[in-house]
């Protein structure tokens, strides 16, 4: 959990029903996660893995869309 990106930890904290923590540091987010009533390290690891997977998929989708747009633009000229 300590190597997770801030946006992944934010996702986990909000998934577990805590308030919005988007303006605080990653370390504070991790401490808040540990203090949650539902805290179980294995569950948190699973949620972090899901958050990372979604983030990576979103970046890949955005990259593919950009490539397609560039390809269409190149075909027009």
14-70 pLDDT tens trace: 777 766 666 677 777 777 777 776 777 788 788 888 888 998 999 999 999 999 999
DSSP string for residues in 9-45: HHHHHHHTTPPP-TTS-HHHHHHHHHTSTT--HHHHH
Give the pLDDT score at 33: 73
Instruction: For residue 4, give the 3-state DSSP assignment.
Output: coil
Q: What is the pLDDT of residue 28?
A: 77
Contacts of 61 (CB under 8 A, 6+ apart): none
Q: What is the pLDDT of residue 68?
A: 95
pLDDT confidence of residue 40? 79
pLDDT of 1 strictly over 60: no
Say how far residue 52 (Cα) sits from the centre of its chain.
5
Spatial distance between the Cα atoms of 2 and 26, rounded to a whole number of angstroms: 9
């Amino acid at each position: 959990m300590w190597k997770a990106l801030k946006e992944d930890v934010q996702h986990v904290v909000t998934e577990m029903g805590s308030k919005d923590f988007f303006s605080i540091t990653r370390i504070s987010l991790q401490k808040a996660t540990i203090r949650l009533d539902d805290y179980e390290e294995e569950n948190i690891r699973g949620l972090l893995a899901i958050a990372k997977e979604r983030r990576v998929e979103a970046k890949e989708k955005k990259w593919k869309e950009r490539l397609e747009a560039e390809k269409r633009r190149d075909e027009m000229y």
